[in-house]
Amino acid sequence: MITRFSQLFLRTLRDDPADAEVPSHKLLVRAGYVRRIAPGIYSWLPLGLRVLRNVEQVVREEMNAIGGQEILLPALLPREPYESTNRWTEYGDGLFRLKDRKGADMMLGPTHEEIFALTVKGEYNSYKDLPVILYQIQTKYRDEERPRAGILRGREFVMKDSYSFDTTDEGLSEAYGKHRAAYQKIFARLNVEHVIVSATSGAMGGSASEEFLAVSEVGEDTYVHSTESDYAANVEAVVTPAPPAIELDGLPAAQVFDTPDAPTIDTLVAWANEGADGASVLGREVTAGDTLKNILVKTRVPGGDWELLGVGVPGDREVDFKRLEASLEPTEVALLEAEDFAKYPFLVKGYIGPKALLANEVRYLVDPRVVDGTAWITGADAQGQHVVNLTAGRDFVADGTIEAAEVRDGDASPDGKGVLRSARGIEIGHIFQLGRKYTDAFEVDVLGENGKPVRLTQGSYGVGVSRLVAVIAEQQHDDKGLRWPKGIAPFDVHVVIANKDEGAWSGAESLAAELDGAGLQVLLDDRKASPGIKFKDSELLGVPTVVVVGRGWADGVVELRDRLTGESREIAIAEAAAEIV
Ligand code: ATP
Ligand code: MG
Ligand code: MG
Ligand code: MG
DSSP output for 130-183: --EEEEEEEEEE---SS-BTGGGB-SEEEEEEEEEEESSHHHHHHHHHHHHHHH
- pLDDT at residue 333, rounded to an integer: 36
Q: Which residue has the higher pLDDT, 235 or 564?
A: 564
Ligand 1 pocket residue status of 429, Cβ below 6 Å: yes
Ligand 1 pocket residue status of 153, Cβ below 6 Å: yes
With bands split at pLDDT 50, 70 and 90, how would you rate the model's confidence at 477?
very high
pLDDT in tens, 520-564: 999 999 999 999 999 999 999 999 999 999 989 989 999 999 999
**Is the ipTM here above 0.90?**
yes
pLDDT in tens, 346-357: 333 232 223 333
d(CA 461, CA 176): 8
Helices (H), 19-157: 23-30, 46-65, 80-84, 87-90, 113-123
Please state the rounded mean pLDDT for residues 421-431.
Answer: 93
- What spacing in Å lies between the alpha carbon of 165 and ligand 4's midpoint? 20
Q: Looking at the CA of residue 142, tell me the nearest atom of ligand 1.
A: 27
Q: What angle is formed at CA 406 by the lines to CA 405 and CA 410, rounded to 5 degrees?
A: 130
Q: Residue 185 burial (CB < 10 Å; 0-12/13-18/19+)?
A: middle
Ligand 1 pocket residue status of 109, Cβ below 6 Å: no
- What spacing in Å lies between the alpha carbon of 420 and ligand 1's midpoint? 25
3-class DSSP state for residue 454? strand
Q: Which residues are registered as beta bridge partners of 376? A: 369, 389
d(CA 220, CA 226): 20
The answer, yes or no, to whether the previous bond of 78 is cis (omega within 30 of 0) is no
Ligand 1 pocket residue status of 107, Cβ below 6 Å: no
* Tally of residues, the chain: 581
- pLDDT at residue 461, rounded to an integer: 98
Q: Looking at the CA of residue 203, tell me the nearest atom of ligand 1.
A: 10
Nearest CA to ligand 1 atom 5: 427
- pLDDT at residue 327, rounded to an integer: 29
- What spacing in Å lies between the alpha carbon of 294 and ligand 2's midpoint? 28
d(CA 162, CA 369): 37
Going by C-beta distance under 8 Å and a sequence separation of 6 or more, which residues neighbour residue 442? 81, 84, 114, 117, 118, 121
Q: What is the pTM of this model?
A: 0.74
Going by C-beta distance under 8 Å and a sequence separation of 6 or more, which residues neighbour residue 173? 433
pLDDT in tens, 160-186: 999 999 999 999 999 999 999 999 999
- pLDDT at residue 18, rounded to an integer: 86
Mutation pick for ligand 1 pocket among 142, 152, 159 (CB with most ligand atoms within 8 Å)? 159
- pLDDT at residue 40, rounded to an integer: 95
Q: Cβ atoms within 10 A of the Cβ of 505, count?
A: 14
Please state the rounded mean pLDDT for residues 441-451.
Answer: 95
Please state the rounded mean pLDDT for residues 575-580.
Answer: 89
Please state the rounded mean pLDDT for residues 50-62.
Answer: 98
- Asked if 106 and 125 touch (Cβ cutoff 8 Å), the reply is no
- What spacing in Å lies between the alpha carbon of 551 and ligand 4's midpoint? 52
Q: Cβ atoms within 10 A of the Cβ of 486, count?
A: 11
- What spacing in Å lies between the alpha carbon of 427 and ligand 1's midpoint? 7
Nearest CA to ligand 1 atom 14: 462
Q: Looking at the CA of residue 468, tell me the nearest atom of ligand 1.
A: 20
- pLDDT at residue 414, rounded to an integer: 66
- pLDDT at residue 200, rounded to an integer: 60
* Closest ligand by atom to 428 CA: 1
- What spacing in Å lies between the alpha carbon of 190 and ligand 3's midpoint? 21
pLDDT in tens, 289-339: 333 333 344 443 444 444 444 443 322 223 333 223 322 232 333 333 334
Average pLDDT of the chain is: 76
